[in-house]
Amino acid sequence: SGMAGRFLLEIRRGTQSALLIIRYQAELPKSSLDVSVAADCLEVRIGGSCESVALPAGVRLVPYSCRGLRCLPGDGLHLRLRLRPLPPSADLFYNLKESLKPQKNYIFYCQSCGDIIAKGRKFLRVLPLPSENWSALVEEWCCHPNPFARSTLHPQHDDCFLGDTFILLNSGKESDKSKEDTRVICKRCKTVLGEAVASETIKYYVTEVIIQPSEKSFSPAPRSQFIQSMVAQCLVELSSAKSTFRFTIKGDNGKIYILVWLLNSDTLLVESLGSSSSQSVFTLFGDTSMPSSGAVGAWNAVKVLYQPCIQNRNKDLADAWEKDIGVHSLKFPSETCLELLLILALSTTSLPPSLQGMNSFQV
């Protein structure tokens, strides 16, 4: 009872295709399972139990395209389908770089506790920083000595510089530096927000601060959801701009915590509340995303392969990636790297067993 209608639908927007997994207990005889696929709903009958689940608006299946039917122990029933064209996707993440504008007043909040870090900051310039190896590129292109060799890209009082995983501001008295090192910490919850990179320059990591216009009230976001959104932004933007899909996630201590290989960013996950994987997923995304009983949830997502590197795991592979010019490094506070690793692990365990790994990587 109650086992019918539990499913996971993994959709690729680019190919208009989907993998449907109907979850059921391994001990149930296959002859008692009956699945009906309609354009806008799924119906599953197991013995005397029947449940019909409506798909989210805009998601329409092509019922007669079903193929690749197979049963996997521990997973359930797998089949592939085609989809009718999907509506344009909503933004996958909050785009910080597009939301910051000159001549507007902003308040900086600690993402963890909501304490105000900087108040009434108004920027005359909001500028993207060049890539980290820009100086070496200048030397390759110039036929004379590098004219910028003695220059440093430090923001003036009314500047905001945007990096891959951080923003640079002219320092003020808004945050405390710890006495042991150059880390910038929140006065209230002592979370690491960034670091002082020069006498008048502070680097804030995008995973640690929320920046909102002064006229807008503070709206907190679940921690794990915020981290996922900001890391997804970094991965998608860099893969698009630089055609790089492999990343090392480094802590502010210089250690590699995770190796990440971006597979795609056009995934749409549709899942019924009752499926065995959904409890982990809904907890992961925060209570605000939990639908009512019997409903389905849908999320735009990035799909990645990853390898943990803590406690010297995968050291040889990490060393090889470190030397590979095709791998891009992303730096976050060490505590955030551990949080991200936990989020990835929970996401992996929420998937059916057959989808949790690819080659030697976790999904």
For residue 196, tell me if it sits in a domain. yes
- For residues 87 and 92, what is the distance between their CA atoms, to the nearest angstrom? 14
Domain shared by 230 and 357, yes or no: yes
Nearest residue to 299 (alpha-carbon basis) of 90, 94, 80, 21: 90
Q: What are the beta bridge partners of residue 9?
A: 20, 270
The total of structural domains in the chain comes to: 3
Q: Where among 191, 213, 235 does a domain terminate?
A: 213
CATH number, position 16: 2.60.40
Domain shared by 107 and 69, yes or no: no
Domain shared by 66 and 122, yes or no: no
Domain shared by 355 and 252, yes or no: yes
For residue 41, tell me if it sits in a domain. yes
Domain shared by 207 and 231, yes or no: no
Question: Do the Cβ atoms of 152 and 193 come closer than 8 Å?
Answer: no
- For residues 40 and 119, what is the distance between their CA atoms, to the nearest angstrom? 49
For residue 115, tell me if it sits in a domain. yes
Q: Per-residue b/e over 71-102, b at no fewer than 16 CB within 10 Å?
A: eeeebbbbbebebeeeeeeeebbeebeeebee
Domain shared by 206 and 105, yes or no: yes
Q: Where among 149, 180, 213 does a domain terminate?
A: 213
pTM, to two decimals: 0.86
Q: Where among 83, 108, 128 does a domain terminate?
A: 83
Total Cβ atoms within 10 A of residue 145: 8
Q: Give residue 177's domain range.
A: 96-213
For residue 173, tell me if it sits in a domain. yes
For residue 88, tell me if it sits in a domain. no
- For residues 189 and 183, what is the distance between their CA atoms, to the nearest angstrom? 14
Domain shared by 306 and 348, yes or no: yes
Q: What are phi and psi of 32, to 5 degrees?
A: -90, 0
For residue 128, tell me if it sits in a domain. yes
Q: What are the beta bridge partners of residue 1?
A: none
For residue 58, tell me if it sits in a domain. yes
Question: What tens-digit pLDDT sequence spans the chain (363 residues)?
Answer: 344 447 899 999 999 999 999 887 656 655 677 888 999 998 888 777 787 888 988 899 999 999 999 988 888 889 999 999 988 776 655 677 778 889 899 999 999 999 999 888 899 999 988 876 666 667 677 787 777 666 677 898 899 999 999 999 998 554 455 555 689 999 999 999 999 988 889 999 999 999 999 988 888 889 999 999 999 999 999 999 888 999 999 999 999 999 999 999 999 999 886 544 444 443 444 433 444 445 788 888 999 999 999 999 999 999 999 999 999 999 999 999 999 999 999 999 989 899 999 999 999
For residue 68, tell me if it sits in a domain. yes
